[in-house]
């Protein structure tokens, strides 16, 4: 289970690296299983030590955000929803 937790957290950091273009971001895990992020290994943490879900949410909120692709079917569906009373 611990491996899956680390994988999920490191995947969030990899997404941040890709979005931001900063490959220096580094994740660390405390002895009690909490996670924190730094701009590079050995740098001060950018957040307090967080539980997995909080850490992933924090990391996903950093840096430029990827715009969701919206297809023509999605737009048509939204238009229909707005027409209904």
Average pLDDT in the chain: 85
CA angle 42, 61, 75 (to 5 degrees): 150
Give the pLDDT score at 28.
92
Instruction: Round to whole Å and give the CA distance between 8 and 67.
Output: 21
Instruction: Identify the residue with better confidence: 65 or 34.
Output: 34
Question: What would the mean pLDDT of 72-78 be, rounded to a whole number?
Answer: 77
What digits encode the pLDDT tens for the residues 8-48? Answer: 999 999 999 998 898 999 999 999 999 999 998 889 999 99
Structure tokens at 70: 């919206």
């Amino acid at each position: 289970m611990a491996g899956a937790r680390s994988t999920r957290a490191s995947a969030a950091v990899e997404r941040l690296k890709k979005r931001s273009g900063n490959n220096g971001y580094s994740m660390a895990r405390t002895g009690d299983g909490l996670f924190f992020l730094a701009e590079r290994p050995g740098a001060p943490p950018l957040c307090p030590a967080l539980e997995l879900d909080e850490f992933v949410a924090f990391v996903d909120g950093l840096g430029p955000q990827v715009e969701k692709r919206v297809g023509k079917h999605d737009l048509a569906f939204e238009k229909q929803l707005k027409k209904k009373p």
